[in-house]
Amino acid sequence: MNTSFYVRFFATLFFLAINYPSYAHVKWFSQYSFGDEPLQLSDVTNSIFWILAVASMLVVSLFTIISKHIKLAQWYNDTCNWLGKHNDKSLMIMRIAAGVVLLMSWKSGTLIMPELSINSDLLKWFQFLLAVLLLFRITIPLVGVGIILLYTIGIYQFSLFHMLDYLLLLGIAYFFITSDSKNLKLKNAGLLAIYLTVGFSLCWAGMEKLIYPHWGTYLLELHPQLALGLKPDLFIQGAAFIEISVGIMFILGYFQRILAVGVTLLFMLTSIVFKETEVIGHLMIHAALIIFLIEGSGNIFKILPPAYGSLSNNPFYAGLAFAILFFAFITPYTYGANLKYEQSVAEQPQNHIHPLEISDAATAPQLEVSIKEDIQEGWNIELMTHNFKFVPPKDTEHPFKNEGYAILSINGKLHARIYSPWFYLPPMQTGAYNIEISLKSSHHEPLTHLGLPIETKDRIVVE
């Protein structure tokens, strides 16, 4: 395909990106905060945990045996040979996906990933420049360097623990940097880097479900059909181990093509619920999975020690590798989650106040928020509540559970207290702002229902 095709194609993508709603965002599709207290390993490792862990280890071991038999099937080899004829399209697929994501980030004021809000025009336009550089093959390695720079900035602004969610970005960056390398080992390592970072990202997401299960159970309350009739806590644990198992199999090099199809279909099914938000949020993972489908293992095993292939295909060592990798991931994840929680407590001294739980759904306060631009400037925020009355703080001995005030936070920082259903937000500088409003009692206790804060989130983009 010639350059003019790429110009027309990216121009079409650019048009779609700037017309996509700027408020679309994703971070596990749930109300989350690193200020939420994470579970400890002692809390996670119950009987169901060990049953699922052993079952997952056995499944991974079994896959080594199944993999050997499938590779001998004629239909499988014919399919792989046909797919392999299209491996020259891999770079183009990732260029397209990365270009769309960078344009979306430029449009919405985020740092590559949709929930990482930034207020820097320089960073926004830098991402636009990277999208333009993807048009030309000669400048693709520069895009890889640029993505590494953006990732480093993300670590500085959002912490390493948060950015580990998106380690895939570094794999893609290396893939771009080595795309035209004359050194075959370096070039083949580009595909390996994507395999390892996609596998890590899936494992890391699974760890999140184990350490922060209430983020997932909140999501199931909104979309109960996702639980398939299972108890929410059991479903979350099961989903975590499936995700971790798939991630580890990508790392070990099993069933690359079949796993790629399965994970892609799963993402497509969840898109029925989450629609465009899910698709955009995982676009580069979709691209990576398509590359896995086309490339299979590629030539990656040629650059690895021969012992790696023989050990990874041994059922015993595969199961052992699962156990080692699992605890190698969950230990630092738990440490990082606790560190983030301690930092949050230190930054917000009011967190030492115990929440005021309202377990009765019939009497629990409810909160909805409408944010509209003012006719002149700024925004008018309307707080619509049920079972709740706005009152100023009181000195009475016992607080009333159904009265108090609201806390307005912008980009994670306390902005104001709200004592009435209406609040005026003055004009702000160009950028994206995450708006979070939560209810507190008249004694300053955060109000919770089923262990979750009574709050709502929205987003303002100032252009």
3 state DSSP class of 449: strand
Residue 12 has what pLDDT?
Answer: 41
Beta pairing partners, 405? 440
Q: Report the C-alpha gap between 300 and 315 in whole angstroms.
A: 21
Under a CB-based contact definition with an 8 Å cutoff, are residues 447 and 353 in contact? no
> Residue 173, exposed/middle/buried by CB under 10 A (0-12, 13-18, 19+)?
buried
Residues in the chain: 463
**140 touches 180 (CB < 8 A):** yes
Contacting residues for 317 by C-beta, under 8 A, at least 6 apart: 311
**What is the spatial distance between Cα 317 and Cα 63, in angstroms, rounded to a whole number?**
12
HSE (CB half, 13 Å, CA atoms) of 10? 26
Res 148: pLDDT: 95
The yes/no answer on whether domain 353-462 falls in CATH 2.60.40.10 is yes
Q: Convert the pLDDT of each residue in 53-82 to its tens digit.
A: 999 899 888 888 877 777 777 877 777 777
**DSSP string across 111-175:** SSSTT-B---HHHHHHHHHHHHHTTSGGGHHHHHHHHHHHHHHHHHHH-HHHHGGGTHHHHHHHH
Residues 372, 390: Cα–Cα separation, whole Å: 21
**What DSSP state is assigned to residue 446?**
B
Q: How many other C-beta atoms are found inside a 10 Å radius of the C-beta of residue 447?
A: 25
Among 396, 395, 436, CA closest to 418: 436
CA distance 34 to 16: 33
**Which pair of structure tokens corresponds to residue 253?**
């090099």
Query: Tokens 């708006």 label which residue?
Result: 435
Q: How far apart are CA 263 and CA 313, in angstroms?
A: 22
- Compute and round to an integer the Cα radius of gyration of the chain: 24
DSSP 354: P
- Model pTM above 0.85: no
175-181-12 Cα angle (round to 5): 50
What's residue 25's pLDDT?
Answer: 33
What CA–CA distance (Å, rounded) separates 94 from 179? Answer: 11
Regions of the chain short of the pLDDT cut 50: 1, 5-28, 271, 273, 349-351
pLDDT of residue 294: 81
- The CATH 2.60.40.10 domain(s) of the chain lie at 353-462
- pLDDT given for residue 262 in this prediction: 67
